[in-house]
Amino acid sequence: MKAIRFAQHGEPSKVLETENVPLPEPGDGQVRVRILATPVNPSDLLYVRGYYAGVEPRFPAPVGFEGVGIVDAIGPGVKTLATGQRLSVVNGQGGNWAEYAVVPAGDLFPVPDEIPDEQVASFVINPASAILMVRRVLAVPRGEWLLQSAAGSELGRMIIKLAKRDGIRTVNVVRRREAVAELERLGADAVIVSTEGPIDEQVRRIVGPEGVKYAVDPVVGETGTQIFKALHEDGRMLVYGSLTGEPIRVGEDPRYILAGRRILEVYWLGYWLPRLTDAERQQLGEDIVALMREGIIETSPGLKYSLDEVGDAVTQAEQKGRQGKVFLVPGKK
């Protein structure tokens, strides 16, 4: 079969190769799936560059943490799945950028037939993160303000619509003035442009001088530093990415570390998913399906590439102003 792998960390467009490898066989409790589509997510590219904590590659390493696939073969001990069944495929060790993948049966989410492949391919990482961060980890109450950066991203758009549905007000940080009107149409209560003044000052003009009690940030660096400064003295901030690779400077101003009780913490889906009970995982899957049907949680489909076009795919995925999620489609010619 064809599979995309990398022999060393580096720029994805340079180190990723499409190779012919043996077809894997499922072991105890495992299932082999034929991959229909798999997204190019920021976490995949961070992993290739060597910046993704929690998963240590064994070179040559496979890539791809989620996707949609058809059950092709079932290993011993798997009783709840059937060949031919379409599923959301979470691959915690990477390997979905391939024609076939073998994963534990517990990492597969059955999804109703009417949900399109592009939505099933992106069923877990962004939707589950939006729900878990807003509803479980931060547990933002109705009527409170939630501040987020990278608001124009696929996950940022989901958070805007989910918060609106749940009665939460959002302040959304973008880099370009052109993005403001679109996010307001999605339901954003306020949108600020990071190049038009310090983020923390702009936030306080909107929510009041005390700042916000809840914030999420995947950017870090100067953006993350200013998000932290925008916190209420009892505020909580989740960092769920590192798009700049730069530090948050929480100690540069003593006012923010010697007064109050501001909490800066990390959110990682790979930590939270294994800690959910079977009932909680089932409920999470049902919540995602319900929110997809409402149009609250949905991925905007972008360009599709074959496995042989992986260099073009990863380059497109990081284009500024890109519209929609980039997918790798193994069956594409």
Q: What is the CATH number of the domain that holds 114?
A: 3.90.180.10
Q: Are residues 88 and 133 in the same domain?
A: no
Does the predicted model carry a pTM greater than 0.85?
Answer: yes
171 pLDDT more than 70: yes
Helix (H) or strand (E) holding 101: strand 100-104
Q: Are residues 76 and 56 in the same domain?
A: yes
Q: Are residues 134 and 251 in the same domain?
A: yes
Q: What is the pLDDT of residues 121-140, one digit of tens each?
A: 999 989 999 999 999 999 99
Q: Are residues 39 and 172 in the same domain?
A: no
Task: Write down the pLDDT at residue 330.
Answer: 94
* Inter-axis angle of helices 278-294 and 154-165, nearest 10: 90
- Tell me how far apart the alpha carbons of residues 9 and 63 are, in angstroms, rounded to a whole number: 12
What is residue 183's DSSP assignment? H
> Which tokens is 263 given?
């909490």
Q: Are 81 and 105 in contact (CB under 8 A)?
A: yes
Q: Are residues 324 and 237 in the same domain?
A: no
Task: Write down the pLDDT at residue 254.
Answer: 67
**Mean pLDDT, residues 188-206:** 94
Q: What are the residues whose beta carbons fall under 8 Å from the beta carbon of 131, sequence distance 6 or more?
A: 162, 284, 287, 288, 291, 297
Q: Are residues 118 and 132 in the same domain?
A: no
256 pLDDT more than 70: no
**Mean pLDDT, residues 77-83:** 90
> What value does the mean pLDDT of the chain take?
91
Task: Write down the pLDDT at residue 29.
Answer: 94
Q: Are residues 96 and 189 in the same domain?
A: no
CA torsion sign for 4, 8, 13, 19 is negative
Band (56; pLDDT cuts 50, 70, 90)? confident
User: Domain total for the chain?
Assistant: 2
- Tell me how far apart the alpha carbons of residues 153 and 43 are, in angstroms, rounded to a whole number: 13
Q: Are residues 170 and 185 in the same domain?
A: yes
Residue span of the structural domain in which 89 resides: 2-122+299-328
Report if residue 286 sits inside a domain.
no
